[in-house]
Amino acid sequence: MIVSWCPQQQVLVHGAVACFVSHSGWNSTLEGMRNGVPFVCWPYFTDQFQNESYICNVWRTGLAVAPGPDGAVTMEELSGKVERVLGDDGIRERVRALRDAARRSIAEGGLSGLAISECLNRMVCYFVFPAQVELGIHSNGWATSSAPSDQDPTSQLYLYFVTAVFIRQTVLVRRFFKTAVPSFLSTGCGL
């Protein structure tokens, strides 16, 4: 059966999922990694090729399909990569190690939680001490001016919350996966 849409996170968390054939977009990469599912990467454009490189060459938690001379991926290529991923115990161990590291990061007191708390603390400081922020007393490089007085503080807080969520997803999570995880893997992950 082919469907146009499915709840990817709910599918990936299911115990029967043994492999994730993915375009290697960043959100899919995070979802697969967080759920401990090995990858068969089939990137299409932009950041997907970089993510594929991390998945296959740095983290070694999947394999990439190789298009033929005509640019098409054959059924044999795809099924061969799926079989290799399913039979590789090293990939399974590494993806479990990354899953556990990601879960520790988003748990209470983890790297991700601490980073979002720091961002929220800075936002509160920005609203409570705007003059000091403008002078750089509380900024530490994260703000250069106080909030405009003609805006509603509630809407400003919402804007900063949205910004914090964006920062959390794109900067902090990427920093964790692209710096901490490779060094963690290079030590052997205790495997």
Domain ranges of the chain: 8-88, 111-185
Model pLDDT for residues 97-115, shown as the tens digit of each residue: 999 988 888 888 888 878 8
Best CA proximity match to 31, nearest among 13, 49, 14, 16 = 13
φ, ψ of residue 25 in degrees (nearest 5): -65, 160
User: What is the tens place of the pLDDT at every residue in 112-125?
Assistant: 878 877 777 776 66
142 Cβ contact partners less than 8 Å away, ≥ 6 residues apart: 122
Mean local confidence (pLDDT), 133-142: 46
| Confidence tier at 75 by pLDDT (50, 70, 90) | very high
* CATH number assigned to the domain with residue range 8-88, chosen from the 4 options 1.10.3720.10, 3.40.50.300, 3.40.50.450, 3.40.50.2000: 3.40.50.2000
- pLDDT at site 146: 42
pLDDT tens-digit map of 149-185: 444 444 444 445 555 555 555 555 555 555 554 554 4
CA atoms within 13 A on the CB side of 88: 22
The closest alpha carbon to 176, from 41, 59, 39, belongs to 59
Work out the mean pLDDT of the chain and round it to a whole number.
Answer: 76
